[in-house]
Chain A
Amino acid sequence: MDFPQNISMEEAFALAEAEAKLEAALQESRNRFTNARIPDRLNEDWRFGRPHQYATALAELLQGDTPSQGEASVLHAGAAAVPVSAADEDLKQTEMLMPTIGSDALLGLHLQRFGSGYALYIEEDTAEPIHLHYKTAGFYTPSTFIMVAPGVKAQVVEHHEGLSENAVLFATRNIQVAEGAELKLQLHSSCMQRYLCITDIQNMGGKVSQLTRHENHAWAREETVAEIYAPGSDIQLFSANLPTSSVLDQHTRQIHHTGGATSNLLYKNVLDGTATATFAGNIYVAPGAHHTDAYQSNRNLLLSEDATVNSLPGLEILADKVRCSHGSATAPVNEEQLFYLLSRGIPRDEAISLLAQGFIDDVIEKFNN
């Protein structure tokens, strides 16, 4: 390894130790990929995810000859945006170390196609939101990296768009927010035959809020891991969707490695037609991560008799002085609210769609504030 000039013995030791740790972690993640199986029905993280249908097909595509092809563009980023290249070992290692929620094998295959997408090194407050677009008519496997420097306030809107009926997009997102930084993040994905997005947010003492919206996919799966590494961190995760005929599979983890931090999650879905939505979330508070405040809520509004909701909120609490709770509620349109709207002369169908939109807008409003 190359040591920088003019450092003390202690610093050299510390550096060497850090290098050794990284090497060990990389080795471990290599093993993780070697041992990983394509998700099957014994994979609890794919419990309602129909792995034989979706994970297998995606794995076959990743292992096959179809090249990854798509268009990546960025707006309002200035010098912050750098295209990801296959030769960038640091970024590749970052992706290699990212956790998944039951999809290690798929991430391993994604790594083999590493080399497209954008890295955003945000070192100044953004005057207007940075927009990042990934579009594909075929099969595309981009990687996003967002690093927000200490004390910087940034807004990023990421768009994942399918341009044909057969579009397949498998994206990874690694997000690091430094102490005192604030990041407001939106992810809009749309119109995909198959869509998988694996996100890891590492918060080192900043504030992050993320809103995800998934529209018009035949199948979409979101895996979002939010990790807290320093006291004072705050993570807010939001999602709002109105699937009508699709399968939406959302998995989240709020991981509190250290105490004295807060995390909050609100995922709301309105289901119509033959839609199926699965939410499986977990709050993990590590031993010693005392004084943690974490909340998680999944709310579903069912509009059709052919729609299905699976809701699996979870808690794993190994620390003390913790305030944690979760809630899950699934129900049809509230009769009293509906009656109130009807009593003002609003026709039934319109009243229901107003209520459904209101159910979703509530999330967006909370994200905006």
Chain B
Amino acid sequence: MSLVIKNLHARVKDGAPILNGINLEIPKGEVHAIMGPNGSGKSTLSKVLCGHPDYEVTDGSAELDGQNLFAMSVDERSRAGLFLAFQYPVEVPGVTNANFMRAALQARLPKGEEIDAVSFYKELRSKMKELGMDPKFTSRAVNEGFSGGEKKRNDILQMMMLNPSYAILDETDSGLDVDALRIVSEGVNAMRAPFRSFLVITHYKRLLDYIRPDVVHVLYKGQIVRTAGFELVEQIEERGFDFLKTTEA
């Protein structure tokens, strides 16, 4: 059981290619990190996997536990167990966090089955407490007027509620102060399990110090150019991404 990406090519709709043949396998239970300079295609990869309408896949495949990911709609992918913590979570005016989460959970239940409101709220409150979120957030509109850090926490809260089998964290560390980074990382670590894997996209070592990845990939010009263990993170921290270009040549 794993997320398998083969020879993935993708581009902005009618635009320039961004992903140029990505091969990646993330087995259940592992945490993988993707690092890479700006514009290497990190965020594109996460959006393409989730089915963002701005991008189109021009070649290659992606399978989620044997299912063809690209044959599914955005919401089907989510219900199949794929989760994306956004780099820039969107504000959704008028829709409260509680209603939003309920709708998302309800969508995962078989027809005719109703979500139990009491246990739902109980769970929501306790997870919010874990993340140090104000309980009032439940009745506020999704991300509306939230600070950058609050939005990121809210995305992690959603991940905790939805229990995905594959979670992609797209630069979740950006915009977080040290305390928030610790809280968010603890939340992620608490969710590490043999039946779940993570793909952590980041620029910086500091997030990976908290969420220690099993495998580290470097993405460059839309391709995975290096795969290794945690030592790669340290190399990058020391020498930046430039060493890739020189070794590449």
Bound together, the chains give a CA A341 to CA B99 distance in angstroms of: 11
Tell me if B95 and A358 are in contact (CB < 8 A): yes
Closest-CB distance, A1 to chain B (whole angstroms): 55
Residues of chain B lying within 8 A (CB to CB) of residue A5: none
Tell me if B78 and A340 are in contact (CB < 8 A): no
- Nearest A residue (CB) for B104: A344
Whether B103 is near chain A, meaning CB under 8 Å from some CB there, is yes
Closest-CB distance, A211 to chain B (whole angstroms): 15
Residues of chain A lying within 8 A (CB to CB) of residue B51: 342-343
Interface 9-mer from A142-150, A181-189, A271-279, A346-354 = A346-354
- Give per-residue flags for B85-117: 1 if the beta carbon is below 8 A from chain A beta carbons, else 0: 010011111111001100110011000000000
Tell me if B50 and A360 are in contact (CB < 8 A): no
Residues of chain B lying within 8 A (CB to CB) of residue A344: 75, 78, 100, 104, 158, 162
5 examples of A-B residue contacts, CB within 8 angstroms: A341-B103, A345-B75, A345-B162, A346-B78, A357-B95
Tell me if A347 and B94 are in contact (CB < 8 A): no
Bound together, the chains give a CA A362 to CA B94 distance in angstroms of: 4
Bound together, the chains give a CA A357 to CA B99 distance in angstroms of: 11
Whether A339 is near chain B, meaning CB under 8 Å from some CB there, is yes
Residues of chain B lying within 8 A (CB to CB) of residue A355: 92, 94-95
Whether B52 is near chain A, meaning CB under 8 Å from some CB there, is yes
Bound together, the chains give a CA A160 to CA B70 distance in angstroms of: 51
Residues of chain B lying within 8 A (CB to CB) of residue A359: 93-94
Closest-CB distance, B109 to chain A (whole angstroms): 11
Tell me if B53 and A339 are in contact (CB < 8 A): yes
Residues of chain A lying within 8 A (CB to CB) of residue B100: 341, 344, 346, 354
Bound together, the chains give a CA A348 to CA B162 distance in angstroms of: 18
- Give per-residue flags for A315-358: 1 if the beta carbon is below 8 A from chain B beta carbons, else 0: 00000000000000000000111011111111110110011011
Bound together, the chains give a CA A336 to CA B53 distance in angstroms of: 9
Tell me if B92 and A341 are in contact (CB < 8 A): yes
In-complex Cβ contact of A361 among B77, B84, B91, B95 (8 A): B95
Residues of chain A lying within 8 A (CB to CB) of residue B79: 345
Whether B74 is near chain A, meaning CB under 8 Å from some CB there, is yes
Closest-CB distance, A128 to chain B (whole angstroms): 23
Tell me if B75 and A337 are in contact (CB < 8 A): no
In-complex Cβ contact of B92 among A337, A345, A347 (8 A): A337
In the complex, how many residue pairs between chain A and chain B have their CB atoms under 8 Å apart? 84
Bound together, the chains give a CA A347 to CA B95 distance in angstroms of: 15
Residues of chain B lying within 8 A (CB to CB) of residue A337: 90-92
Tell me if B94 and A360 are in contact (CB < 8 A): yes
Whether B58 is near chain A, meaning CB under 8 Å from some CB there, is no
Size of the chain A interface, CB-CB below 8 angstroms:
24
Tell me if A343 and B50 are in contact (CB < 8 A): yes
Tell me if B107 and A347 are in contact (CB < 8 A): yes
Bound together, the chains give a CA A336 to CA B88 distance in angstroms of: 11
In-complex Cβ contact of A362 among B90, B141, B158, B162 (8 A): B141
Tell me if A358 and B162 are in contact (CB < 8 A): no
Whether B73 is near chain A, meaning CB under 8 Å from some CB there, is yes
- Nearest B residue (CB) for A351: B75
Whether A365 is near chain B, meaning CB under 8 Å from some CB there, is yes
Tell me if B107 and A350 are in contact (CB < 8 A): yes
- Give per-residue flags for A80-103: 1 if the beta carbon is below 8 A from chain B beta carbons, else 0: 000000000000000000000000
Q: A343-B86, A346-B100 are in contact. List 14 more A-B contacts (CB 8 A).
A: A339-B52, A339-B90, A340-B92, A341-B92, A341-B100, A344-B162, A345-B162, A346-B75, A350-B103, A351-B75, A355-B94, A357-B95, A358-B141, A362-B141
Tell me if A345 and B104 are in contact (CB < 8 A): yes
Q: Which of B83, B94, B103 has the most CB of A within 10 A?
A: B94
Closest-CB distance, B140 to chain A (whole angstroms): 10
Closest-CB distance, B51 to chain A (whole angstroms): 8
Closest-CB distance, B136 to chain A (whole angstroms): 14
Tell me if B107 and A345 are in contact (CB < 8 A): yes
Bound together, the chains give a CA A348 to CA B94 distance in angstroms of: 18
- Give per-residue flags for B43-55: 1 if the beta carbon is below 8 A from chain A beta carbons, else 0: 0000000111100
Bound together, the chains give a CA A41 to CA B73 distance in angstroms of: 48
Tell me if B53 and A335 are in contact (CB < 8 A): yes
Residues of chain A lying within 8 A (CB to CB) of residue B158: 344
Tell me if B78 and A345 are in contact (CB < 8 A): yes
In-complex Cβ contact of A347 among B52, B75, B89, B142 (8 A): B75
Residues of chain B lying within 8 A (CB to CB) of residue A357: 94-95
Bound together, the chains give a CA A337 to CA B104 distance in angstroms of: 14
Residues of chain B lying within 8 A (CB to CB) of residue A348: 73, 75
Residues of chain B lying within 8 A (CB to CB) of residue A340: 86, 89-90, 92, 142
Tell me if B73 and A345 are in contact (CB < 8 A): no
Residues of chain A lying within 8 A (CB to CB) of residue B94: 355, 357-362, 365
Bound together, the chains give a CA A358 to CA B144 distance in angstroms of: 12
Bound together, the chains give a CA A47 to CA B104 distance in angstroms of: 44
- Give per-residue flags for A277-309: 1 if the beta carbon is below 8 A from chain B beta carbons, else 0: 000000000000000000000000000000000
In-complex Cβ contact of B74 among A339, A350, A358, A365 (8 A): A339
Residues of chain B lying within 8 A (CB to CB) of residue A354: 95, 99-100, 103
Residues of chain A lying within 8 A (CB to CB) of residue B96: 361
Residues of chain B lying within 8 A (CB to CB) of residue A350: 103, 107
Closest-CB distance, B165 to chain A (whole angstroms): 12
Residues of chain A lying within 8 A (CB to CB) of residue B108: 345
Bound together, the chains give a CA A339 to CA B75 distance in angstroms of: 9
Residues of chain A lying within 8 A (CB to CB) of residue B53: 335, 339
- Nearest A residue (CB) for B161: A344
Residues of chain A lying within 8 A (CB to CB) of residue B95: 354-355, 357-358, 361
Residues of chain A lying within 8 A (CB to CB) of residue B86: 340, 343
